Amino acid sequence: MDGGLLAITRRGSPLVPASDRREYEAFVRAMFTGRGSNLAAVLATAARIPMHRARRAVAAVGAAERRLPRDLRPEHWAALWGQVSRR
């Protein structure tokens, strides 16, 4: 038999403002269901932004363009949201 243990600890403060929650969740869903061979292509489709802007956003948050959404850390997700959200 195999087993495992998962421990989850709540952050002291959220990476994304609570007021953005619904839009952020829609963004994450669009990223995971979006098409593209790399992170910038998926971001461009999910956020409905031009590819050049998606490439700049990926570079600005320090994520490698060759990655996919599954490879991102929470900090990358929050930073990408900050780059593409309509604040």
Domain covering 19-84 in this structure, CATH number: 1.10.8
Domain boundaries, the chain: 19-84
The single residue listed with the structure tokens 């900050």 is 82
Residue 83 CB neighbour total at 10 angstroms: 18
Quick check: 87 pLDDT over 60?
no
Q: Are the C-beta atoms of residues 39 and 51 closer than 8 Å to each other?
A: no
- Identity of the residue numbered 66: R
**What tens digit of pLDDT does each residue of 22-70 get?**
999 999 999 999 899 999 999 999 999 999 999 999 999 998 878 899 9
Give the N- to C-terminal CA distance of the chain in Å, as an integer.
Answer: 50
